[in-house]
Chains A and B, each alone.
Chain A
């Protein structure tokens, strides 16, 4: 491994009283180095759950987005998921048999059952967002999202796809430890029990509880890692596939994107932006660069400007292309990369802003941590962007090819 690079000259500690000689000393150092790395990794994995605030931000984000989605589509619910849908329950069931998907919605064609499922989905999303019995709710939420996604799989787009993946991953995380009803209940309970005598548990019980805590922590940390890696894969793939396209290289890609009629809620605005040829080619290049660079900037301060630019890009997509859900899902996913100290600093920021505007009394925020992250103001850069996939992707060579190509 790396150590072989610094050979003979051996500035390695002169292995004090180690009679076995130089070679063993060197091997010993390498061995120790490896052990240190492994125990550091082990500690990182098992010591404490990382990014609890980010996990909670994702819970709140996806819970509320799905709630908004279900409310938005309420008038269209029968057309999308009901027994009257053009994608009939029989067709859906046939596809499930081919692909392995499943859905609680196809269990019965009864109207009452469907409405019950819909209400259950609304309630589940709301309770998940609020963090009430979060672990159970996260499982139910994943079940709801999977069921609704599978039932109307040809109605989904990239935003739905991302929401589904995140709903599945969030089951692994302890996403109810902050900003949740669970956290509030625990706080009250702790305050009440503050001076009660400490419960002495039997050794074996204590061991079991410790093991459970460790396992929860490990699963949470793995879940957060998977979420972060998923977002990197997403941006990396989106960027690298664009690099291969001539129109992205030529700076004209966004012209075509802006002229897709289904994604023109404000045609005058789209045409106005389309006329700025220099601007849209710069924004097109920036898009590709940001997406390709994304996985590589996450380990330094550079991630803050990149995240702000991505935020601007997503807001641009939301407004210009009429894809608020898609953009919302992407923005929430980006939030996983903000450290806890950023989130603890947020209430402090809000309070200051509220005081400055002299509006209302600040909410009794949580301790404003020692955060020192530069204030991430809302970006005023409505970069137009794209990212929908338009009709006609010819890429689903794979087994089912159902993944929401586009948008």
Chain B
């Protein structure tokens, strides 16, 4: 194999030397036999560069494929190399609606609490943050990422890092909790002007009825009703 490549290279060198160079450069015609050493080094460098490009291209495609494909013997064996190459810039995930599309809608409800000067607590009513997003999406040709992605991905990232309970056990979990509480605090602040000391979230997961099921007007029974602990709100960034 390697000998094949080398001989191809040699052939190519001869071809290109007799090509455009001969037409445009009188020098070259004058001294066709003796090549300056620099030119030879240039050629060698060029071939090396081309082969490197090709190798990098093929390696990139292979590594991205292994990153995207399900974990296999090969991708497990080479996972350090794959991860080193793919992360962070080439990370990708095309499991759009696959293997199963989500079959639930979520409500993310929030309420705020404020400690009065006499020490008693004033707790607001629940309100649905996702309902605000839904109405922002409705009848919009071009919905904003803040409606479609912000809360949705914050919540999935929260559950990915926390699992079923609400104790943040990893650094990432702490970060996601902070993120979620900042989002809730901003939304609460946007709707009432009073001071807020604590915030609580409740996430209600509603199933999408199977096709053909007679739904009627009765609301679906939640498959999960998760009450998160009160979080102390600290103002961020402002």
Check A12 for interface membership: any CB of B closer than 8 A.
no
Contact A391/B210 with A80-B145, A207-B42, A233-B68 known, Cβ cut-off 8 Å = no
Q: Quick one: which of A79, A91, A247, A406 contacts B179, CB cutoff 8 A?
A: A91
Contact A38/B8 with A265-B138, A395-B95 known, Cβ cut-off 8 Å = yes
Check A405 for interface membership: any CB of B closer than 8 A.
yes
List the B side residues contacting A323 at CB < 8 Å.
Answer: 148
Contact A91/B175 with A222-B54, A246-B100 known, Cβ cut-off 8 Å = yes
Contact A76/B146 with A85-B237, A267-B138, A402-B91 known, Cβ cut-off 8 Å = yes
Of chain B, the residue at the smallest CB distance from A168 is B89
B residues 1-25 touching A (CB-CB < 8 Å): 4-5, 7-8, 11-12, 16, 20-21, 24-25
Q: Is the CB of A157 within 8 A of B237?
A: no
The dominant DSSP class at the B interface is: helix
Q: Quick one: which of B56, B95, B97, B145 contacts A157, CB cutoff 8 A?
A: B145
| Interface pick from A254-262, A308-316, A345-353 | A254-262
Of chain B, the residue at the smallest CB distance from A152 is B145
The dominant DSSP class at the A interface is: helix
Q: Quick one: which of B60, B89, B97, B156 contacts A388, CB cutoff 8 A?
A: B97
Contact A248/B99 with A80-B145, A86-B183, A256-B208 known, Cβ cut-off 8 Å = yes
Q: Quick one: which of B26, B143, B159 contacts A265, CB cutoff 8 A?
A: B143
Q: Is the CB of B140 within 8 A of A218?
A: no
Q: Is the CB of A244 within 8 A of B156?
A: no
Q: Is the CB of A257 within 8 A of B97?
A: yes
Q: Quick one: which of A99, A222, A226, A255 contacts B211, CB cutoff 8 A?
A: A255
Chain A's interface size range is 35 or more
Check A237 for interface membership: any CB of B closer than 8 A.
yes
List the B side residues contacting A272 at CB < 8 Å.
Answer: none
Contact A407/B89 with A38-B5, A84-B238, A154-B157 known, Cβ cut-off 8 Å = no
A10 to chain B, nearest CB (A): 22
Q: Is the CB of A99 within 8 A of B141?
A: no
Q: Quick one: which of A165, A203, A393 contacts B25, CB cutoff 8 A?
A: A203
Of chain A, the residue at the smallest CB distance from B7 is A35
Q: How many residues of B contact A (CB 8 A)?
A: 96
* Total A-B contacts with CB atoms under 8 angstroms apart: 307
Check A116 for interface membership: any CB of B closer than 8 A.
no
Contact A256/B237 with A234-B94, A324-B141 known, Cβ cut-off 8 Å = no
A residues 228-286 touching B (CB-CB < 8 Å): 229-230, 233-234, 237-238, 241-248, 252-257, 259-267, 274, 277
B residues 179-238 touching A (CB-CB < 8 Å): 179, 182-183, 185-186, 208, 210-212, 236-238
State in angstroms the CA–CA spacing of A350 and B178 once bound together. 54
A40 to chain B, nearest CB (A): 10
Of chain B, the residue at the smallest CB distance from A251 is B211
Max chain A CB contacts within 10 Å: which of B99, B143, B159?
Answer: B99
Check A98 for interface membership: any CB of B closer than 8 A.
yes
Q: Is the CB of A391 within 8 A of B102?
A: yes
List the B side residues contacting A388 at CB < 8 Å.
Answer: 96-97
State in angstroms the CA–CA spacing of A202 and B141 once bound together. 60
Check A191 for interface membership: any CB of B closer than 8 A.
no
State in angstroms the CA–CA spacing of A152 and B157 once bound together. 13
Check A392 for interface membership: any CB of B closer than 8 A.
yes
Q: Is the CB of A233 within 8 A of B46?
A: no
Q: Is the CB of A206 within 8 A of B137?
A: no
List the B side residues contacting A375 at CB < 8 Å.
Answer: none
State in angstroms the CA–CA spacing of A256 and B106 once bound together. 14
State in angstroms the CA–CA spacing of A277 and B130 once bound together. 28
State in angstroms the CA–CA spacing of A86 and B158 once bound together. 14
Q: Is the CB of B142 within 8 A of A322?
A: yes
Q: Is the CB of A266 within 8 A of B139?
A: yes
Check B134 for interface membership: any CB of A closer than 8 A.
yes
List the A side residues contacting B171 at CB < 8 Å.
Answer: 94, 98
| Interface pick from A50-58, A133-141, A209-217, A334-342 | A209-217
Check A59 for interface membership: any CB of B closer than 8 A.
no
Of chain A, the residue at the smallest CB distance from B106 is A391
B residues 84-104 touching A (CB-CB < 8 Å): 87-104
Of chain B, the residue at the smallest CB distance from A101 is B88
Q: Is the CB of B148 within 8 A of A100?
A: no
Check A208 for interface membership: any CB of B closer than 8 A.
yes
Q: Quick one: which of A39, A95, A214 contacts B46, CB cutoff 8 A?
A: A214
Q: Is the CB of A252 within 8 A of B210?
A: yes
List the A side residues contacting B46 at CB < 8 Å.
Answer: 211, 214-215
Max chain A CB contacts within 10 Å: which of B91, B96, B171?
Answer: B96
List the A side residues contacting B124 at CB < 8 Å.
Answer: none
List the B side residues contacting A91 at CB < 8 Å.
Answer: 175, 178-179
Max chain B CB contacts within 10 Å: which of A88, A150, A202?
Answer: A88
Q: Quick one: which of B4, B25, B43, B208 contacts A259, CB cutoff 8 A?
A: B208
Q: List 25 A-B contacts (CB under 8 A).
A: A35-B11, A76-B144, A88-B178, A91-B175, A146-B89, A158-B96, A206-B21, A207-B21, A214-B50, A218-B49, A218-B53, A243-B99, A245-B99, A257-B101, A264-B137, A277-B212, A322-B142, A322-B148, A388-B96, A391-B153, A391-B155, A392-B159, A398-B91, A403-B93, A405-B156
Which 7 A-B pairs give the minimum distances between C-beta atoms? A390-B102, A245-B99, A86-B182, A241-B98, A403-B93, A203-B27, A244-B99
Task: Given contact pairs A202-B25, A265-B139, enumerate 8 new A-B contacts (beta carbons under 8 Å).
Answer: A38-B4, A39-B12, A88-B182, A94-B171, A155-B153, A225-B57, A256-B102, A390-B97
